[in-house]
Structure 1
Amino acid sequence: MLQHWQAEAVRLREAHWGPLEDRAACQAALRLPADLQDRILARAAWLAEHGELHDRLVQWSIGARWALAALWLCACLAGIGTAAAVLGQGQVNLALALLGLLGLHALTFLIWLASWLPGLPDSTALSRLWLWLTRRLVRGPDAALAAQAFLSLLGRARAWKTAIGLISHGAWTAAFLGALPTLLLLLSARRYTFHWETTLLSPDAFVGATRALGALPGLLGFPAPGDAQIAASLGPQPLAAGVQADWSLWLIGCVVVWGLLPRLLALFACVVHLRQRLAGLTVDPGLPGWLDLRERLLPTHANLGIDRPAPAPGGAAGPVAPVVAVDGRAAVLAYELGPDLAWPLEGLPADVVDLGRCDSRADRARIRALLGAPPAHLLFVCDARLTPDRGAAAWLDELRRSCPDLRALCLGGTPPRLQAWQDILSQQAVARIPSLDGWLEHIGILRHD
């Protein structure tokens, strides 16, 4: 899940604040087999690890676990307090005791079951409280981004309702795990008398209710009082100690069977379903941000390898770029073009000097030497599929100061990437031309096809 979480966080960050510098990340991803999902995940993992986003996600995950533990601890303390309040000082009304221990639980459990019906809201008070506690525990840069990416991931996996159920059932399980030991401790240390109280209902109603509620606990060994003892519990006369013990075990059995066990089963089902949904996560290449990566991570042009044997050794290799001084009218320069983009440009006139590719610091030093006598016109050709960074901006500024007429030609790229290049070109006051023919027309040179 962490890989998909990182990928979603990177996607949202680029959607909010623009493309990241990912040249090295894409190069690392391209080393993997030609599978778009694996390459998107690899690119996101590289960006997360080198941009500290990975550490932010881990911090948010730890904070979310602590917030969940605090929420469940509070639920456990609430269960202890409810059990102590239900038993009171000695006289226990069984109807009120059941209502206090199981009433709210039954209502919220039914609401959770109904939440699976279409059209009902997905969030609950407990889930909102958990998110609020997490925001309090985890602050700083990218904290909100981590939460947004996590919720987006759960929504895309259709697991948000399951996650809400896990939070809710875990809290109720903790509450019952706090209430049951409290009931056992108080019932073992003090003497309580149990009775039914009613103004409208007949004794037969309590006999039927006791039998119905005690049927399943009886299968687990929790005894229930007989019919005569149930009817006697409606009267003012005190009952025998053995009958009070049966009522105590009946009450505990009802809490175990109708309270703890349903929550445990629902919690287990949520954990299993959540793991299955998250294990089936896949990358949707059609999402904004990932759609733009297809051409860069799965290029349509690939290097087919060596098509002829290497020449026999015997002489030094020729220079990769011209070594003559650039004192002519026009020159062209390739800036970090992808290997699938051919260079020099097709149809380049012979009287236009080719400065070659600029891919490293050594290339920049070589080009600076060639620009000792700068040309009147220079065309800066860039790969618009890559995101411009501060190094590109500094290089453009240096070229603009050396050459009187600097223009830029962007090859390939999606609208967001082209806009990023347009922004940096505007900042450097460099005009962008649409094609090589347009530049040649601008400088007054005819193209020779």
Structure 2
Amino acid sequence: MPDFSRKLTETVRILEESGHVFPADPEAVTQALHHVADDAGQKLIRRAQMIDRDGAVAAALLRAQAVSFWLKAAAALLLFCSGFSATYLLMDSAGLNFFLLLGGILGTNTLMLLLWLVFAVCRIKMPALPLLPTWGQGSSAVEQALIRLYGDEMRQPSLRWRLGALSHALWLSALTGMLSAVLLLLLVRQYTFNWESTLLTDTLSVRLVAALSWLPQHLGLPVPDAQTVLGSRSAGHAANARAWAGLLLGSIAAYGILPRAAAWAVCRLLAKLSPARLPLEQSYYRHILQQWQRQVVDSDDYQEHLPSAAPQIQISQAEKWAVMLETAWDDPHWFRHILGQEWQLQDTADSREKVAALAADLQKQPVQLLIGVRANTVPDRGVLRQIAQLAQAAQGGAVVQLLWTERSSDTAADVRQRLETWQQALNGLQLSWLNPPEISQKLRQAV
């Protein structure tokens, strides 16, 4: 399941549970997908996309992901520059102590890598990351839902590996900055390398350098031999600088960058092996899935009750047209993405002649028609005849979208009674219908 689709579905769940009013009625969308042949996860994703008819939730989620991306990019750039600057300061001398320089570049990185390895092998649980309570104060409901979503993400099993991959990527940025500084300075400056030690003997020092040189030497880089090591104690020589420089570059690549890159790859792989999933065990998803599974009940002793629409809404494969009866609607985009379809708006059918012309066009090709009507008015016989005429001509079927203009004088009882009048009239014509999305949700939440 694509991660963006999963997050969109989860955000819609959080919003619906908090009583958010969507541009599409979730109950009508659920009913419309009742007979769609697809697995549960894909149907839930499609349902969320249809509910988010205006794309507001998807746009907010994309903005959040974009902010996250640019924050990570800024952090990576900052660490690259920090690594470059710190290395530049370490090499601000013509004579360099090799072991001090190598320890300054790789010391902290190696220690943190070993600490991460201990946490990973011993499976030590990471402490929960708290969300600042001040985030999102006074923001929109969608932004509040995204805060809850990312709070839930902190409890996903794959979090440890996703955070690990991020940490390794940032360390790689710092190491790349260090390697870039070393390479640049070695290209434009003449350095000499030496080493000093009170405890290490010459023999141990030679063995230590030989051990460090094993992998860089196999990478084709020049490394100091035993004579060079002995000759560089407490004194640096320009003739030996190239060998020490090769060992320095090889050590940063072999013992810094390569282990980090391997750890990053392991974290990425383990994160993909334990992907985040939809929590289908939650009552929210169980309720939706139960509605879609009612068809398996024995029809002899079960009468399915669909409170949102009757008869059943069917999405055909025919071309999709939309038309507004009588007069144009205040919102010119009222038809956009209804039931997840791309409807093509036709001229407003504001006269008998236009209705007859549209019906003639519908008979020439298979079209599914979306008919917009004003639910504030009483369903008189003339309007019902026009609806029936267009529905009969639409070879791909017809769906009536009831539209409502909210007025301060309207009470919940008045709205409910007017909608029921329209519903009964359309049921008598055996036509599928959709309630006004916002009004339908508000009335359902008021119960």
- The answer to whether the 8 Å contact 1:10/1:44 transfers is yes
CA distance in 2, matches of 1:394, 1:83: 72
CA distance in 2, matches of 1:146, 1:36: 23
Q: Which amino acid aligns with 2:9?
A: A
The equivalent residue for 2:421 is none
The equivalent residue for 1:60 is 64
Q: Which amino acid aligns with 2:378?
A: A
The equivalent residue for 1:173 is 172
Q: How is 1:212-223 mapped onto 2 (pairs within 5 angstroms)?
A: 212-223=211-222
Q: Which amino acid aligns with 2:414?
A: E
The equivalent residue for 1:253 is 250
In the alignment, structure 1 segments of 5+ residues that lack a partner are: 305-333, 341-359, 368-388, 403-419, 426-449
- State the Cα deviation string for residues 353-411 of structure 1 (Å, max 9, x = none): xxxxxxx96698359xxxxxxxxxxxxxxxxxxxxx999x9674227999xxxxxxxxx
Q: Which amino acid aligns with 1:48?
A: D
C-alpha displacement at 1:209, in angstroms?
A: 1.7
Question: What SS is found at the alignment partner of 2:126?
Answer: coil
Question: Given the alignment, which residue of 67, 86, 93 partners 2:90?
Answer: 86
C-alpha displacement at 1:223, in angstroms?
A: 2.3
C-alpha displacement at 1:258, in angstroms?
A: 0.5
Q: CA distance change for structure 1 residues 72 and 362 in 2, over 3 Å: closer, same or farther?
A: closer
In the alignment, structure 2 segments of 5+ residues that lack a partner are: 300-305, 313-372, 381-403, 419-441
TM-score (norm 2): 0.63
Q: Is residue 365 from structure 1 mapped to residue 378 from structure 2 by the alignment?
A: yes
Q: How is 1:338-357 mapped onto 2 (pairs within 5 angstroms)?
A: none
C-alpha displacement at 1:185, in angstroms?
A: 1.5
Question: What SS is found at the alignment partner of 1:89?
Answer: coil
The equivalent residue for 2:368 is none
- State the Cα deviation string for residues 395-436 of structure 1 (Å, max 9, x = none): 74227999xxxxxxxxxxxxxxxxx989624xxxxxxxxxxx
Identity percentage of aligned residues: 22
Q: CA distance change for structure 1 residues 232 and 336 in 2, over 3 Å: closer, same or farther?
A: closer
The equivalent residue for 2:286 is 291
C-alpha displacement at 1:35, in angstroms?
A: 3.5
- The answer to whether the 8 Å contact 2:222/2:242 transfers is no
The equivalent residue for 2:181 is 182
CA distance in 1, matches of 2:296, 2:414: 32
Q: How is 1:195-274 mapped onto 2 (pairs within 5 angstroms)?
A: 195-235=194-234, 237-239=235-237, 241-274=238-271
Structure number with the bigger relative contact order (C-alpha 8 A, sep ≥ 6) is 2
- State the Cα deviation string for residues 255-274 of structure 1 (Å, max 9, x = none): 01001112222233333443
Q: CA distance change for structure 1 residues 85 and 218 in 2, over 3 Å: closer, same or farther?
A: same
RMSD, aligned CA: 3.9
C-alpha displacement at 1:224, in angstroms?
A: 2.0
CA distance in 2, matches of 1:199, 1:63: 52
Q: How is 1:372-411 mapped onto 2 (pairs within 5 angstroms)?
A: 396-398=412-414
Q: CA distance change for structure 1 residues 186 and 363 in 2, over 3 Å: closer, same or farther?
A: closer
CA distance in 2, matches of 1:168, 1:29: 42
C-alpha displacement at 1:212, in angstroms?
A: 1.4
CA distance in 2, matches of 1:168, 1:289: 35
The equivalent residue for 1:101 is 105
C-alpha displacement at 1:121, in angstroms?
A: 1.0
Question: Given the alignment, which residue of 26, 30, 38 partners 2:42?
Answer: 38
